[in-house]
C-alpha cells in the first residue's frame, strides 16, 4: 500500500503558492489547476502538496502575461522541448510588444518636446518621366511594399543598362491616409526608354508645386514631420488637391543606419508668386 497523500486546504495552498483563493477558484473553474479532491457536501477544495510546483509555474507564466489557454497548452505539452518552444514563442512576442511600447514612448516624448524650427522650401517640380509600380496598399504594409517595389525597379533598370535620373520616390493618394489603405506609386525618375516588365510601367508624373520639408530617420516616424508641414501649408500657402509626394534622398540602399535616412515630403500647393 502506497503512502497516504498529503492534502492542503485551499487557504493553506494559497499561502504556499502566493495565489489568492479567488484565483485558485478561477483556475479550478477554467480547468487549469483542479484540486486533488472536492468535498461533495461542503464544496471544500483540497490540494496535494505535489501540486505546489505546478501552481508556482502557472503563477510565473501569468506574471509573464501568458494567456490561460497558452498556459494550459504548455502544461500539457508532451515533453520539455515542446514546452520550451511555447515559452520561447511567448517571450519573443513579449519582446516585440516591449519594443513597440518603447517606440511609442519615445514618439510621445518627441511630440511633447519643443518643436525645432523647420526648414521648408517651395519648389516647382516639372513633368517627370518615371518607371513606376502602382498598387493598392495597406498602411501597415507600406514600408515593406515600397522597398520591394523600389528594388524591383532598380533591378529592371540595371538589367537594361539604365540608371535613375534622381532619387527614388513615392506618391500617396488621399485614400491611403483617409482609409489607411489606398493607391501608392513607387517610382524611379528615368527619361531613358526601357522595356516594361512585370509590374513596372513607364509614365510621367505631372508638374506640381510642392511645399517641401526633409524628414530625418525611418519613414515609419514621419507623423510629426507631416504635422509640421501641414501647419506651414495651412498658414503660409494654399493647399490644393493632389497626392503627397515623397523623395527618398538617403535610404536602406545607401546605409543600414536608419538615423541617417532622409526623406523629402512634398505637399501640393498653389504657387502665388511669393515664397
Whole-number pLDDT of residue 100 = 81
Looking at residue 116, its pLDDT comes to 53
Q: Contact 239/267 with Cβ under 8 angstroms?
A: yes
The torsion region of residue 7 among left (phi > 0), alpha (psi -120 to 50) and beta comes to beta
Domain that holds residue 67: 7-76
Instruction: Say if residue 187 is in the same domain as residue 241.
Output: yes
How far, in Å, are 28, 89, 146, 201, 233 from residue 137 at the CA level?
Answer: 47, 29, 9, 17, 26
In a domain, 103, yes or no: no
Based on the fold, state whether residues 141 and 238 are members of the same structural domain: yes
Q: Would you state the pLDDT for residue 218?
A: 86
- Beta strands 181-189 and 208-216 are unpaired
Q: Is residue 246 part of a domain?
A: yes
* Contact between 18 and 55 (Cβ < 8 Å): no
187, 150 contact by CB (below 8 A): no
Does any domain span residue 101? no
The reply to whether 40 falls in a domain is yes
Q: How confident is the model at residue 27 (pLDDT cuts 50, 70, 90)?
A: very high
What does pTM read for this prediction?
0.62
Query: Same structural domain for residues 126 and 252?
Result: yes
Q: Are residues 66 and 192 in the same domain?
A: no
Tell me, yes or no, whether 52 and 145 share the same domain.
no
| Residue 199 included in any domain | yes
Q: Does 275 score more than 50 pLDDT?
A: no
**Which CATH number goes with the domain that contains 248?**
3.20.80.10
Average pLDDT, the chain: 88
How far apart are the C-alpha atoms of 65 and 68, rounded to whole Å? 9
Per-residue model confidence (pLDDT) at position 67: 92
Q: How far apart are CA 253 and CA 255, in angstroms?
A: 6
41 domain residue, yes or no: yes
67 & 127 share domain: no
| Same-domain check for residues 152 and 26 | no
Lowest mean pLDDT among 111-115, 119-123, 183-187, 202-206: 111-115
Residues 103-118: what's their mean pLDDT? 64
pLDDT reading at 1 higher than 80: no
Q: Kindly indicate the confidence band of residue 238, based on its pLDDT and cuts at 50, 70 and 90.
A: confident
pLDDT at 117 > cutoff 60: no
Digit-coded pLDDT (tens) for 129-139 = 999 999 999 99
Other C-beta atoms lying within 10 Å of the C-beta of residue 57: 15
Instruction: Please give the C-alpha separations between residue 174 and each of 61, 153, 154, 179, 219, in angstroms, as whole numbers.
Output: 45, 24, 26, 8, 18
Which pLDDT value is given to residue 17? 92
Q: What is the pLDDT of residue 4?
A: 52
Residue 38 pLDDT class (50, 70, 90 cuts): very high
Q: Which CATH number do you get for residue 14?
A: 1.10.1660.10
- Asked whether residue 61 falls in the same domain as residue 129, the answer is no
The residue among 46, 76, 106 that closes a domain is 76
Q: With cut-offs at 50, 70 and 90, classify the pLDDT of residue 83.
A: confident
Asked if the model's pLDDT at residue 2 lies above 50, the reply is no
C-alpha cell at 6: 498529503
271 vs 231: which has the higher pLDDT: 231
Instruction: For residues 54 and 127, state if they share a domain.
Output: no
* Single residue among 76, 93, 108 that ends a domain in this structure: 76
User: Roughly how many angstroms between the first and final C-alpha of the chain, as a whole number?
Assistant: 97
Residues 155 and 32 in one domain: no
Same domain, 177 and 236: yes
* C-alpha cell, 154: 532598380
Mean pLDDT for 65-87 is 89
pLDDT higher than threshold 70 for residue 154: yes
Both 159 and 48 in one domain: the answer is no
pLDDT at 167: 96
**Residue that finishes a domain, picked among 60, 76, 92:** 76
Q: Is residue 223 part of a domain?
A: yes
Domain count, the chain: 2
The alpha-carbon radius of gyration of the chain (Å, integer) is 30
DSSP tag of 115: P
Question: Is there a domain that residue 2 lies in?
Answer: no
Q: What percent of the chain has pLDDT over 90?
A: 61
pLDDT greater than 70 at residue 125: yes
Amino acid at each position: 500500500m502506497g503512502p497516504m497523500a498529503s492534502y492542503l486546504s485551499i487557504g493553506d495552498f494559497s499561502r504556499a503558492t502566493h495565489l489568492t483563493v479567488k484565483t485558485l477558484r478561477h483556475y479550478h473553474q477554467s480547468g487549469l489547476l483542479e484540486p486533488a479532491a472536492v468535498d461533495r457536501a461542503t464544496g471544500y477544495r483540497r490540494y496535494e502538496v505535489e501540486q505546489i510546483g505546478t501552481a508556482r509555474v502557472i503563477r510565473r507564466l501569468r506574471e509573464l502575461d501568458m494567456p490561460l489557454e497558452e498556459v494550459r497548452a504548455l502544461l500539457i505539452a508532451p515533453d520539455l522541448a515542446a514546452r520550451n518552444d511555447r515559452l520561447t514563442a511567448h517571450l519573443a512576442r513579449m519582446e516585440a510588444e516591449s519594443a513597440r511600447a518603447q517606440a511609442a514612448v519615445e514618439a510621445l516624448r518627441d511630440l511633447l518636446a519643443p518643436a525645432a524650427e523647420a526648414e521648408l522650401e517651395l519648389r516647382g517640380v516639372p513633368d517627370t518621366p518615371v518607371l513606376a509600380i502602382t498598387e493598392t496598399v495597406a498602411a501597415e504594409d507600406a514600408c515593406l511594399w515600397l522597398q520591394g517595389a523600389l528594388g524591383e525597379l532598380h533591378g529592371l533598370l540595371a538589367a537594361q543598362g539604365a540608371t535613375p535620373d534622381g532619387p527614388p520616390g513615392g506618391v500617396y493618394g488621399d485614400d491611403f491616409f483617409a482609409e489607411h489603405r489606398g493607391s501608392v506609386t513607387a517610382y524611379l525618375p528615368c527619361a531613358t526608354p526601357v522595356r516594361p516588365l512585370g509590374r513596372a510601367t513607364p509614365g510621367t508624373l505631372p508638374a506640381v508645386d510642392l511645399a517641401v520639408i526633409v524628414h530625418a530617420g525611418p519613414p515609419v516616424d514621419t507623423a510629426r514631420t507631416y504635422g509640421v508641414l501641414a501647419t506651414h501649408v495651412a498658414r503660409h500657402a494654399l493647399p490644393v488637391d493632389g497626392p503627397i509626394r515623397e523623395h527618398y534622398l538617403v535610404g536602406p540602399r545607401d546605409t543600414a543606419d536608419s538615423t541617417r535616412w532622409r526623406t523629402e515630403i512634398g505637399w501640393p500647393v498653389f504657387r502665388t508668386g511669393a515664397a
